[in-house]
Amino acid sequence: MASRLFPSLHLSLFFFFFYFLLPSPSLADGLPSSSKVPITPYTACISTPFPNFCKSILSSHGDSNLRDYGLFSIKRSLKSATKFSSLVDRYLKLQSSLPKTTVRALEDCHLLSRLNIDFLLSAATTLNLNSTNGFLSIDTEDVQTLLSAIITNQQTCLEGLQAAAASSVQSGLYTPLFNDTKLYRVSLALFTRAFVHKKKKRGRVQPRRGRKLFSNMNFRRDGVLPLRISGQNRKVFELRSGRRLLQSSLDNVLISDIVVVGQDGSANFTSIKDAVAAAPNNTDISDGYFLIFIAAGVYEEYVSIPKNNKNLMMIGDGINQTIVTGNRSFVDGWTTFNSATFAVVGEGFVAINMTFRNTAGAVKHQAVAVRNGADFSAFYSCSFEGYQDTLYTHSFRQFYKDSDIYGTIDFIFGNAAVVFQNCNLYARLPLPSQINAFTAQGRTDPNQNTGISIQNCTVTAAPELASFNGTAKAYLGRPWKQFSRTVYLQSFIDGLIDPTGWLPWDGDFALSTLFYGEYGNMGSGSSTNNRVTWPGYHVLSAPDVSNFTVSNFIYGDFWLPATGVPFEGGLL
């Protein structure tokens, strides 16, 4: 699959003129007849979250078919996103006169607004290129994922401004931010109605170009690798463009190049950031992964994998051997978004045998160890350690396997489409006034294809909580946003979980619009007899849960084989 993110705003503007100032083919050609029938804006907008706002947008387009309305709204969304990004930049030029917390919130909005421009361009490009041939299932999933991420980015920008920005900045940005979010939600609703069907394509989807089927990586959780890399890595591997690793267990993972990070002076780099900076930009997966091996050590640095660094693979010496650590927190003036020790945006990122920490502690409240907003990203045999908000699964499609996640309040949160498989989720000892909530899923629109699926995992107490003589309540999750969606499948749930299972966020907020489910779990905390009676809570059956498996929820058959990370596509 071609890369979906464009490298610069200049290139974005080129595509803007190419696709939107020149006539585009009708989306009605070659597509199902139900979406080719001419309808009025009123009819098209009935099923959107904001019918009157939608009609005001589509009225200038006249009567058309549902699919053309969808493309038209995405074009309008792109114009709005470009204007909002420019507005944020104007405020950033005043940063010398603004509080540091405001500047940090604006910097988040700057990054997120630029990403939205790229995502909207990619969505519109996909719609145009597929307009004459109809849509494959994976094409509709890609566009729905992009539009879902755009709405998440808007919400993240808004929350940062609400928490940290000066009132003058808030008043200048709130109206366009709210209006743009309404437009993006309308675009997603129109697209979903026109293109996305409830019954997804079954069966295995072909891997992306150049990716090899693979299921035998065999990395060990004790840190011993089948692949050992020393300071003499060039002599040992002599890896260059397109060559595969020689070890049989990794033979089908395509590697373009390899560098080593170490602290003993014998490696290519002494910091992870420098190794990332050396990676090539905007590579295609058919070229293979740029592999960064990180030798054992404690790396006190803040690492960011930007959007142009695609298809990076990091391999460490093992959990608690290769450690990336930081201590940024909300209390110390960082937004939750930019408190992350390790942040990923670049598509196709893979991390193996590493530990990621935020050591700010429970008293510093929101303090993220890893923030992940990378599509087709996977973490295998890794550890995530923090307290509140440890792992921020921000957006896009993600997979976590054989990993440990430690925290207290909402320590797995965000609005990605994410599956955790064979992971250990550990509740730590909270502050005396706090409770533990394992998840806080952030779906804000019913058309977003996002949620948290926890399959064959262990839900239990960390050692310091297990040995605690007092009481500390713990819950499977609580609804951070109105359409919060989380399921626990075939997992071991220990007795620390309160019999009600789930915790309200605030009164009856979201209790009828959320989707929480449990299926086939075991352990002393797994009984559903005394669970909450909210309208949105469900004890699931096998047909219901198939939509939350790796194959269907994150389309794992399509992209996971090339990572070398083992997975089960369906129920166990």
Q: 399-414: per-residue pLDDT in tens?
A: 999 999 999 999 999 9
Determine contact, residues 84/176, Cβ cutoff 8 Å.
yes
410 flagged as catalytic: yes
The phi and psi torsions of 455 (rounded to 5 degrees) equal: -125, 130
Q: Is residue 498 predicted with pLDDT exceeding 50?
A: yes
CA atoms within 13 A on the CB side of 431: 10
Query: What CATH number labels 41-196?
Result: 1.20.140.40
Measured CA distances, 460 to 28, 373, 525 (Å) = 52, 27, 9
- Residue found under tokens 């905390």: 525
The phi and psi torsions of 392 (rounded to 5 degrees) equal: -100, 95
Domain 222-363 matches domain 408-571 at the CATH topology level = yes
Q: Please state the rounded mean pLDDT for residues 175-179.
A: 96
- Closest by Cα among 32, 151, 36 to 442: 151
pLDDT band (50, 70, 90) for residue 100: very high
| Rounded Cα gap, residues 380 and 422, in angstroms | 10
Give the right CATH number for 222-363 from 2.40.100.10, 2.40.30.10, 2.30.30.40, 2.160.20.10: 2.160.20.10
Give the count of beta carbons closer than 10 Å to the beta carbon of residue 496: 19
Beta bridge partner(s), residue 489: 455, 519
Q: Please state the rounded mean pLDDT for residues 550-556.
A: 97
Q: Which of 410, 445, 498, 557 is catalytic?
A: 410
Contacts for 480 with CB less than 8 Å, ≥ 6 apart: 410, 413, 440, 441, 442, 505
Q: Please state the rounded mean pLDDT for residues 497-526.
A: 98
CA atoms within 13 A on the CB side of 78: 25
pLDDT band (50, 70, 90) for residue 211: very low
Q: Is residue 236 predicted with pLDDT exceeding 70?
A: no
Whole-number percent of the chain with pLDDT over 90: 73
pLDDT band (50, 70, 90) for residue 496: very high
* H or E, element range at 289: strand 289-294
Please tell me the predicted confidence (pLDDT) of residue 60: 86
| Rounded Cα gap, residues 182 and 54, in angstroms | 9
| Rounded Cα gap, residues 123 and 147, in angstroms | 8
- Residue found under tokens 């053309």: 68
pLDDT band (50, 70, 90) for residue 509: very high
CA atoms within 13 A on the CB side of 195: 33
Contacts for 85 with CB less than 8 Å, ≥ 6 apart: 9, 110, 113, 114, 116, 117
User: Can you give the residue ranges of every domain in the chain?
Assistant: 41-196, 222-363, 408-571
- Closest by Cα among 477, 571, 466 to 517: 477
Give the count of beta carbons closer than 10 Å to the beta carbon of residue 524: 11
Q: Which residue has the higher pLDDT, 132 or 468?
A: 468
| Rounded Cα gap, residues 201 and 141, in angstroms | 11
Q: Which residue has the higher pLDDT, 38 or 468?
A: 468
Q: Which amino acid is at 107?
A: E
Please tell me the predicted confidence (pLDDT) of residue 131: 55
Q: Which residue has the higher pLDDT, 166 or 245?
A: 166
Alpha carbon 539 to its chain centroid, in Å, reads 26
Please tell me the predicted confidence (pLDDT) of residue 10: 44
3-state secondary structure of 321: coil
Q: Is residue 386 predicted with pLDDT exceeding 90?
A: yes
Q: Please state the rounded mean pLDDT for residues 494-522.
A: 98
Please tell me the predicted confidence (pLDDT) of residue 12: 46
The pTM (predicted TM-score) of the whole model is: 0.88
Q: Is residue 240 predicted with pLDDT exceeding 60?
A: no
Q: Is residue 220 predicted with pLDDT exceeding 60?
A: no
Whole-number percent of the chain with pLDDT over 70: 82
Q: Please state the rounded mean pLDDT for residues 474-488.
A: 98
**Report for 153-157, 189-193, 256-260, 540-544: range of highest mean pLDDT:** 153-157
Alpha carbon 200 to its chain centroid, in Å, reads 21
The phi and psi torsions of 332 (rounded to 5 degrees) equal: -90, 15
Please tell me the predicted confidence (pLDDT) of residue 135: 56
Contacts for 176 with CB less than 8 Å, ≥ 6 apart: 80, 83, 84, 87
Q: Which CATH class is domain 408-571?
A: mainly beta
Q: Is residue 105 predicted with pLDDT exceeding 90?
A: yes
Please tell me the predicted confidence (pLDDT) of residue 9: 42
pLDDT in tens, 420-450: 999 999 999 999 989 999 999 999 999 999 9
Please tell me the predicted confidence (pLDDT) of residue 195: 81
CA atoms within 13 A on the CB side of 300: 3
| Rounded Cα gap, residues 115 and 57, in angstroms | 23
Please tell me the predicted confidence (pLDDT) of residue 137: 59
Measured CA distances, 519 to 93, 184, 492, 560 (Å) = 52, 33, 11, 24
Buried b / exposed e over 260-276, threshold 16 CB at 10 Å, is bbbeeeebbbeebeebb
pLDDT band (50, 70, 90) for residue 243: very low
Average pLDDT, the chain: 86
Least confident of 15-19, 80-84, 126-130, 154-158: 15-19
Angle at 152 between CA 149 and CA 156, to 5 degrees: 135
Beta bridge partner(s), residue 326: 358
Please tell me the predicted confidence (pLDDT) of residue 36: 60
Helix segments in 93-136, DSSP class H:
100-129
Q: Please state the rounded mean pLDDT for residues 138-163.
A: 94
